[in-house]
Structure 1
Amino acid sequence: MGALQALPNTFTTSQANRAGLHFRDLYRLRDEGDLIELSRGVFRKADAPAPTWPDLLAVSVRAPLAVVCCVSAAEVHDLTDEIPREIQIAVPRGQRPPRIDYPPTEVFRFSSTTFDLGLTAVEAAPGENVRIYDAERTVVDLMRMRGRLGEPLALSALRRYLLRRGARPAQVVAFARELGVLGPVRAAVDAVIAE
């Protein structure tokens, strides 16, 4: 089917429709094993290379402006052994949050003035990137939300980050200053470095 070959490895129902595939075709191809449905309205070619982060890929296709954050980002950056129950994403305050049932998703609203601070990307599948906060921003966000997500998680992620090769504690402190949690982050950084 030529229309299917013209589509990227991961695509939406609307992209498929524009390429000439009808809904019936998509579901038939899914039922025949040629497509995998990652989320409602998000499909991946069955013969495409396996994604490293399929749930992150599905969520990013459904919400392309969102950014993977908090525990989900900590997992990607190997800052925690905790597996999040939900994919955690951030959207700017004032933007309508996406409603995604599968994979289960938790949406945080971050200030639009600092939303792009620490923004980077991770390859969720070969040639397919997902927006994510870098390790430094992730550590600071966990510290900012330690009351909600748990102080042990935040402190453990900070310790794990600071003890790795290439850690940039000055960048963590700079992000903490920008995000309004300089005091707790500086105290925690000093405690870990003094160990």
Structure 2
Amino acid sequence: MSVGLRQLPATFTTRVAKASGLHVRDLYRMRDEGVVIELSRGVFRKADAPHASLPDLLAIGQRAPSAIVCCVSAAALHNLTDEIPMSVQIAVPRSQRPPRIDHPPTEVFRFAVGTFELGLSSAEAAPGEQARVYSPGRTVVDLMRLRARLGEPLALAALRRYLRRRDARPGELLDLARALDVLGPLRTAVDAVIAE
């Protein structure tokens, strides 16, 4: 392993590699030799780094550092759905230009700036590397807010699973729903699920 590569973190961008003195030509030679793996355009991971359990989220985190994994992707991470999204769903603030990421496939949602980081959590994408993801409660509220687009059955199923969890916090869920302006529909859905 070259001296320049040793200085780099396990997951890094071309820009970071160049700043550490590694020439782009050498970086792509190392990719071709299998010393580094290209996760996405301009995002690399050392081949001898610990296994990344969520490599797509590592790549997106490097390409769009302010993005937060949301909706169905977050629900799958939190075991609130069995549905496997066709693309990684991420949220960015409305004031920010949506990133264009072809690989891994992404779907971008634009959320209000004032409530953007409400319910922000993280998930370990690789040992020592975190991905920004919405909490289970925020995920349920977002699915309810976007039920016309993503489907009401998905939102209700996620709500059921959430309420059955030991760590469920219905009061916090209603607070999030109030802040995100979906309190009425969520309260009605919670009452219906509890009555089942």
User: How high is the TM-score relative to the length of structure 1?
Assistant: 0.98
Residues 1:192 and 2:188 aligned together: no
Q: Which residue of 1 aligns with 2:137?
A: 136
Give the % identical residues.
Answer: 69
What's the offset of the Cα at 1:185?
0.5
Q: Tell me the equivalent position of 1:95.
A: 96
Alignment of 1:86-165 (within 5 A): 86-165=87-166
Q: Secondary structure at the match of 1:113?
A: helix
Amino acid at match of 1:143: M
* Matched pairs, number: 195
Task: Write the deviation string for residues 24-64 of structure 1: whole angstroms up to 9, x where unpaired.
Answer: 11111111111110000000000111111110111011000
State the distance in 2 between where 1:182 and 1:111 align: 17
How far apart are residue 194 of structure 1 and its match? 1.7
User: 2:26 and 2:155 mapped to 1: Cα distance?
Assistant: 46
The corresponding residue for 2:62 is 61
Q: How far off its partner does 1:157 sit?
A: 0.5
Residue identity matched to 2:149? R
Q: Distance in 1 between matches of 2:153 and 2:24?
A: 47
Q: Which residue identity lines up with residue 110 of structure 2 in the other structure?
A: R
CA distance in 2, matches of 1:94, 1:56: 22
Which amino acid is the alignment partner of residue 12 of structure 2? F
**Pair 1:10-2:11 in alignment:** yes
Query: Is 1:71 aligned to 2:67, yes or no?
Result: no
Q: C-alpha distance in 1, partners of 2:17/2:75?
A: 33
The residue type equivalent to 2:109 in the other structure is F
**1:141-174 superposed Cα distances (whole Å, 9 cap, x missing partner):** 0000011011111111110110111211111111
**TM superposition shift of 1:122:** 1.1
2: CA distance between counterparts of 1:34 and 1:81? 35
| RMSD, matched Cα | 0.7
> What TM-score does the superposition give when structure 2 sets the normalisation length?
0.98
Partner Cα distance (2:190, 2:150) in 1: 19
**Unaligned segments of structure 2, at least 5 residues:** none
Name the amino acid aligned to 2:8: L
Distance 1:166 1:98 in 2: 34
Following superposition, the deviation at residue 121 of structure 1 comes to 1.2
Secondary structure of 2:66's partner?
Answer: coil
